[in-house]
Chains A and B, each alone.
Chain A
Amino acid sequence: MKEVALDTLVPGERGIVWSLNAPAFEIRQRLLEMGLTKGVAIEVIRLAPLGDPIEISVRGYRLSLRRKEAKAVMIERVKK
């Protein structure tokens, strides 16, 4: 399986978090603490009306993040 960045997923696609490439420590820490740890399943739910940020489902709740932050989240795409 190939790793892709979270921002390449379209609404309805699912994936497993592989790693975080956020350059800033604070952002990485926040993403981790909000539950985006290695191995966790996520689903892209929708995009904001202007295309950014995106809304994902993780650990049973909804999280929104900008494409810029989503780029740092490396995902293994899961087939439906």
Chain B
Amino acid sequence: MFRDTVESSVSHIAIIGNPNSGKTALFNALTGLRQKVANYPGVTVEKKEGRVLLEDGREVALLDLPGAYSLTPHSPDEKIATDVLLGRLEHTPPPDTVICVVDASNLERNLYLISQILDCEIPVVIALNMVDVAEQDGIIVDANKLSDILGVRVIRTVATKGVGIRELKLAIAEKIVPSLKSRQWTVEEPLRSELEELRGLLLHHHAMSASEAFHESVHLLGSPAVLDEHRSRFAPEVLAHVQQDQDRLDALGIDRLSAIVEGRYAWIQGVCETAVKKTPRKTLSTSDKIDRILTHRIWGFVIFIVLMTLMFQGIFTWATGPMDLIGAGFNALGDLVASVMPPGDLRDLIINGAIAGVGAVVTFLPQIIFLFLYIGILEDTGYMARAAFIMDRVMSKVGLHGKSFIPMLSSFACAIPGIMATRTIESKKDRLVTILVAPLVSCSARLPIYVLMIAAFIPSKSVLGFVNLAGLTLVSMYLLGIIAALGSAWLFKKTLLKSETPAFIMELPPYKMPSLKSVLLQMWNRSTQFLKRAGTIILGVSIILWFLATYPKLDHGTPSDQLRQSFAGQAGRFIEPAIRPLGFDWKIGLGLVASVLQREVFVSTMGTIYGIKDANESSGNASLRERLQQDVDPETGSHTFTTLTAICLMIYYVLAMQCMSTVAIVRRETNGWKWPLFQIAYMTSLAYVVTLIVYHVGLLMM
């Protein structure tokens, strides 16, 4: 009974603000752990919702809108924010009240968005956030005066410290009516009367509120021309009128867009003169002092490299302990199942299909979690924007934005966090290009294959007196991945996803201490998303692969014979003619088939073929190495593996998309199967062609 009354009185609140205004911290402070993350239907914009417990015991739904500088939709994020505010989105009710988060130390630019929201006449509460930082900087905002001018409630908050949260909750609890103050910003004639006229026309032809009609008339007259997007939404009479207006104003030499934006900023300047007191500072701000070092010509790079090295250190050393533990845990689980279930296909399916398959993915979780944590901290402190600032020169050479750098760098550990980190890239095409090429960067799952092949076939001797050949080979594989990724990015930007190098117009927010709560919550949300998305696909594919490797059954024989006779073995033979030109025989073919799920499975498959238990352990790996070196084709008498084969195999793994988890994440992030399938196709073709060339050139040289 109690539940029902709560449900029926739930109202919808949305929270909006500029990026870096502390919106996420405020959302977390209001909702605590009562939040969940999903996607808006049909787009890949993250939809974060939570529930807020008000002081009177009521619960309201809180929707975290994507960070936006403006309601003029530049990016998918800003379009969603606008559509939600205007109640245009299906399945998302328009908010009863909007909390606008404003950075007190950066009021001028933050008020731009506010001026647009006020145009829409939605009930608004302003959270004047980060007042502590502002006051340290000598900026004092008079909340009462601001409230008087804007005609809405203004609450002073410091979201990271919980200051003002109670007052904010009390303000939400009140039934807020839209401000009675009329719009205060204005543009000069004749644009002003044209806007009014257009508003009347919109109201006549379309079912919309007076405020929405005003918002649309500003949008229409601020556009360069009548666009396709407008044709789908407005009546032909309206569009004809817009066209006339635009032509007439342009002929008068009036810059329509500038006039509108300048109108807003002129009003904002007036507001700030009344409500803000600034004490000019004599010394550099802390943030500036930090930036003097972090973006310094020399020190900037040194620190950048140190931070990135630390990331790799974490991935390849600190994360290995928990990874081993998880691996051992899954083995123990397998043993447990083995001890309680009678032998048979079902037991085998559970142990070698489900547990081993899912276990192999979950084992990578410590690396992925670490990376999410590390990236989260860098983002929260404000360093990520500097990383983009430092690396943009390099990235723009292949037509990408500085922001594409971090996703590609993360991919050295695992493409999944890398691909999820592309969400900060505004341009849709650029984001897609980054997603497409990120898996070419050598991730940690490729390392076991490199290690096995190099240890078995590349002698650890010095060349040119000081370089170790084995080490050089390993570095070459990583370099090949980087070159392939940058080269493909350049090519995609020139052809398939042809677009200009995106403009680099990016805020550099002041540095701040990271909020542990925000960082941990984000890490948790992203990791569970990964497990949900990848986990389900992996479970399915593991079971299919198990089936292929287990049937048809041999009555007698070693595991190696069984594998040879299985469907997977047959598949290996079936593709042999196709991979022969690469120097691969059917056994390698079987390894390729079995490692479609994930690359490192290749090592354990070789272990099974050559009858070596624990191929991943060091002793087993050593004996596997010997068997690989000695293996001879019974028909031709030549070695199955030569140094050239080993190099070709490594190159193939550098370039081929042998990772179902990545496919699952790309499908999720691009909202369909088109791009993951294209990605599989282009990467496999690239791998095939490059390996083919290397093999034949190698044969000629030998």
Query: Closest residue of chain B to A55, judged by CB?
Result: B508
- Inter-chain CA distance A68–B297, complex, in Å, is 21
Q: Is the Cβ of A33 less than 8 Å from the Cβ of B393?
A: no
CB distance A66 to B392 under 8 Å? yes
If A37-B262, A48-B390 touch, whether A62 touches B507 (CB-CB below 8 Å) is yes
The answer on a CB contact under 8 Å between A60 and B505 is: no
Chain A residue numbers with a CB within 8 Å of B507 are 34, 61-64
Pick from A30, A51, A64: contact of B74, CB under 8 Å: A30
A33 to B392, CA, bound (A): 22
B429 CB → nearest A CB, Å: 13
Query: Contacts A29-B257, A35-B109, A64-B389; is A49 near B508 (CB within 8 Å)?
Result: no
A32 at the interface (CB under 8 A from B): yes
Cα-based distance from A25 to B224 in the complex (angstroms): 7
In the assembled complex, how far is the CB of residue B469 from the closest CB belonging to chain A, in whole angstroms?
A: 33
A29 contacts B396, CB within 8 Å?
A: no
The answer to whether B265 touches A30, judged by C-beta atoms less than 8 angstroms apart, is: no
State whether B291 touches A46 (Cβ < 8 A): yes
Which of under 10, 10 to 19, 20 to 34, or 35 or more describes the interface residues of A?
35 or more
Compute how far the CA of A61 lies from the CA of B258 in the bound complex, rounded to whole angstroms: 21
A38 touching B504 by the CB < 8 A rule? no
Taken residue by residue from 494 to 522, chain B's Cβ proximity to chain A (1 for < 8 Å, 0 otherwise) reads as 00000010011111111000000000000
Confirm or deny: B246 has a beta carbon within 8 angstroms of a beta carbon on chain A: no
Task: Tell me which residues across on chain A come within 8 A of B108, comparing CB atoms.
Answer: 35, 59-61
Partner of B106, one of A27, A29, A33, A61: A61
Compute the total of residue contacts between A and B using a CB distance below 8 Å.
Answer: 114
A75 to B381, CA, bound (A): 32
B503-A49 in contact (CB<8A): no
- B645 is an interface residue with CB less than 8 A from chain A: no
Cβ of A3 under 8 Å from chain B? no
User: B69, A48: Cβ atoms under 8 Å?
Assistant: no
Whether, in the assembled complex, B204 has its beta carbon less than 8 Å from a beta carbon of chain A, the answer is no
Residues of B within 8 A of A26 (CB): 74, 503
CB distance from B406 to the nearest CB of A (A): 16
Determine which of A29, A59, A69 lies in contact with B504 in the assembled complex, contact meaning CB atoms within 8 Å: A69
CB-contacts of A42-58 with B (<8 A): 45-46, 48-53, 55
Q: Are A55 and B106 in contact (CB under 8 A)?
A: no
Tell me the bound Cα distance from A34 to B68 in angstroms: 11
> Within B475-534, which residues are at the interface with A (CB < 8 Å)?
500, 503-510
Q: Does B70 contact A (CB under 8 A)?
A: yes
A20 at the interface (CB under 8 A from B): yes
> How far, in Å, is A48 (CB) from chain B's closest CB?
5
B677 at the interface (CB under 8 A from A): no
Distance in Å: Cβ of B304 to nearest Cβ of chain A = 8
Chain A proximity mask over B95-119: 1 for CB below 8 Å, otherwise 0? 0000000000111110010000000
In the complex, the answer to whether A55 meets B389 with C-beta atoms within 8 Å is yes
Any chain A CB within 8 A of the CB of B300? yes
Residues of B within 8 A of A28 (CB): 257
- CB distance A53 to B392 under 8 Å? yes
CB contact under 8 A between A62 and B74, given known A48-B390, A53-B389: no
Extra A-B contacts (9), CB below 8 Å, given A29-B222, A32-B257, A37-B258: A29-B261, A33-B261, A34-B69, A35-B108, A38-B262, A61-B507, A61-B509, A66-B504, A68-B503
Q: What are 24 A-to-B residue pairs whose CB atoms are below 8 Å?
A: A20-B258, A25-B224, A26-B503, A29-B257, A33-B70, A37-B262, A40-B265, A45-B288, A48-B393, A50-B393, A50-B394, A52-B396, A53-B389, A53-B392, A53-B393, A59-B109, A60-B105, A61-B509, A63-B506, A63-B508, A64-B385, A64-B504, A64-B508, A65-B503
